[in-house]
Chain A
Amino acid sequence: MEAKQKSEKFIVPIGPQHPALKEPGHFEFTVDGEIVTNATARLGFVHRGMEKGVEDRNWTQGLYLMERVCGICSHVHAMAYALGVEKLANIQAPPRAQAIRELVAELERIHSHLLWLGVAAHEGGFDTLFMFSWRDRETVMDLLETITGNRVNYSANVLGGVKIDINDAQKDALRRGMDFLEERTKHYLKVVTEDETFLGRTRKIGVMTFEEATLLGAIGPTGRASGVQRDVRVDSPYAGYPDFPVNIVTSDAGDLEARFVVRIKELYESYRLVREIVDHLPGGDLTVKVPRRIPEGEVISRVEAPRGELFYFMKSNGTDKPERIKVRTPSLCNWGSVLTTAIGHKLADMPMILAGIDPCFSCNDRLVMINGKKTETQVWDWEDLRQYGIEYYK
């Protein structure tokens, strides 16, 4: 057995079922003792054919499908879709609706970042921080439920506006919630930057320099922790962001600690924004009418999801159904940074480096069919793909 092991590389597989990852992804770390010498990733366990599925639905139904791309950042998907459709139809949602969109987006960012803080702490074996941050996250979940009626898929958007309004009681609840969370977040920032054992796991671990980050195309808080000044909310403000601007949070350290600090400081930004929107919510209507048939054209809609830039390409052929929707989610852009920074680190650091980009798996998977003969064309409809999927996973 020993001879066999010497000649073979010692590979530690993580996933698709593994206690560290609650979502399916497969990683293979080649280790030399405890040091990782190579890392590969395999995705594609939860392909759901949503891009294709939305082509079979009309524009309104597509909104509800796209909201379900991700369970954590559902609102930004719906928002990116709605903004894109509105741009295609050449209409603008009223200012009040845009502000409420931003409000829900920031609440969602708060919930996502707190969730990540807990998960990342758990990966580092710091379960106390995990339990505490998830307990406090309930505050923002309850707020989202108070406002929208849902905890996960808020369904706040409709094409041409939002379907929810904020009343005074909700405003007060939001203010109270933000005060509580700000107090707690101060404590977490202190823990993350001062706790010795935790710093031993994060400081100078998984360092990604500015050059590497730009080369690998790291986006979102992962990139911003390496000094990449990129945030769609700042670069090309959408929804309510022109009226309620956000300050970009960056760090130059590029290590895991910086990723913690950047995300926690973004929480402060979100608290400030929520308070500002609640205090200066513009009046007026919540929706404008959107035609059933969307004029022909192509559009790119970009929003800043909690994990980074979310990119929608949308094409309309003038009917009531989209011709093509292409979604590029932020996690996909950050995988390269994980696989590169992993090399040279210890196996024990892998879960934290993996979690450092705040990975989200189910939105990553795409199907690419390669047609060998260039002359033939192949047409697959929804039912074919469904059948193919059933056969593939059998």
Chain B
Amino acid sequence: MNITFPSLIALLLFPGGLFLLGSGLFFEYLDRKLVARFQNRIGPRWFQPLADFIKLLAKEEVIPAGTIKSLFILLPIFALAAALTAALSVPLFGFKPVFSYNGDLIVTLYLLSMMTLCIGLAGANTEDRFSIVGATRALTQLFSYEAPFLLAMLGPAIALGTWNISLINQGATQQSLWFIVSQPIGFLAALIGLMGKLELPPFDAPEAETEIVAGALTEYSGRGFGLFKIGRDIELVVGLTLIASFYLGGFSTPLDFLWKVFVLLLITAALQSLFARLRIDQTVGLWWRIGAILVLCQLVLIIVGNTLSPFIAPLLGG
């Protein structure tokens, strides 16, 4: 939909800012509810994530001894800010992104990684053993999924010859064949990579509660924890939007956006309830032994296909 909002409204109210926060909470609710239903539980009520968030904001924030105080306070804010900034170049809810420029894909992907970096740093900042083990795991996991995830997101970009998210979205709409069909490996790597990014089961080793309590965020309480949590919710929205616009044929209307993103959410919820938690070495092994190689092969194929496309008509949708 080609409506342009005044930038202040777009930043603070809609589609960014407040509305984005709200939809982040709503996505968290949907995710929790779906997983709960898959696990034969009842699950939370619709306002539960909001109630949790308000409660966390109202709680006293305990700053443990032995930490760098300013870093401890700033990291959650930084993480949330990065997630919110990442949303600016993404066609949220099917509207034109607020800021669109050539190469915003790379900037957005790095802003999305900011969250994990902040969590890792937050864990390393405290002296708590659970936090340190959690931080190590979070960063190890980052190194395992980041490259395949990036390559998976680059697939459609290279096929369409532009690194502008908005243009990729438009290009994907005009494709006769969705990229999920022509680049199935990329789609899987992107979706599973997003789950790793958000530390959702089965990739929740960095915050495995039965081993290391809450991982890197063990020492966080109150506001800091709440901000990390909502930052992650926003990442879920942004990540799903990116994958849907790249691989599910893009979208130009809010309705289009909604059903595509909800289908993706349904798939991630199903994946979350299907598997046992992977150990961190299993995660790394999975990504580097299988994920990275497959995605690389596909990327090579896309590039070869692109070069040969003038000669062989639409191969791989290029």
Contact = CB atoms under 8 A, between A and B. Distances in A.
B106 interface: no
A-side interface mostly:
helix
Interface stretch (B38-46, B173-181, B182-190): B38-46
Contacts of B208: 125, 348
Contact of B277 (A10, A12, A18, A125): A125
A151 to B, nearest CB: 20
Contacts of A122: 210
Nearest to B278: A197
Interface stretch (B73-81, B112-120, B197-205, B225-233): B197-205
Interface size class of A (residues with CB under 8 A): 20 to 34
B139 interface: no
Interface in A295-321: none
Contacts of A121: 276
A195 B205 contact: no
Contacts of A348: 205, 208, 211, 277, 279-280
Interface stretch (B125-133, B294-302, B309-317): B125-133
Interface string A171-199: 00000000000000000000000010110
Interface string B257-299: 0000000000000000111111111100000000000000000
Contacts of B205: 348
Contact of A126 (B209, B277, B280): B277
A28 B280 CA distance: 21
B129 A13 contact: yes
Interface string A101-126: 00000000000000000000111111
Nearest to A124: B276
Given A34-B281, A351-B210, A128 B129 contact: no
A164 interface: no
Contact of B39 (A19, A124, A131, A197): A131
A126 B133 contact: no
A98 B128 CA distance: 54
Contacts of A382: none
B56 interface: no
A10 B41 CA distance: 38
A30 to B, nearest CB: 11
A219 to B, nearest CB: 25
B212 interface: yes
Interface residues of B, number: 29
Contact of B130 (A12, A195, A351): A12
A388 interface: no
A144 interface: no
Contacts of A31: 133
A218 interface: no
Contact of B211 (A1, A126, A129, A347): A347
A16 B213 CA distance: 13
B133 A12 contact: yes
A349 interface: yes
Contacts of B281: 34, 346
Given A12-B129, A12-B130, A128 B38 contact: yes
A20 B211 contact: yes
Interface in A196-223: 197-198, 200-201
B40 A198 contact: no
A31 to B, nearest CB: 8
Nearest to A205: B279
A128 B210 CA distance: 15
Contact of A135 (B40, B130, B212): B40
A388 to B, nearest CB: 33
Nearest to A126: B276
A339 interface: no
A196 to B, nearest CB: 8
Nearest to A348: B279
A347 B129 CA distance: 12
Given A125-B276, A200-B276, 11 more contacts: A10-B129, A11-B129, A13-B129, A19-B210, A125-B202, A128-B39, A132-B39, A197-B278, A201-B279, A349-B279, A350-B211
13 contacts: A10-B129, A12-B130, A12-B133, A31-B133, A34-B281, A124-B276, A125-B204, A131-B40, A195-B276, A197-B202, A197-B275, A200-B276, A200-B282
Interface of B: 38-41, 66, 127, 129-130, 133, 201-202, 204-205, 208-213, 273-282
The list of the 9 closest CB pairs from A to B, nearest first, reads A125-B277, A126-B276, A20-B210, A197-B275, A131-B39, A351-B210, A198-B276, A348-B279, A19-B209
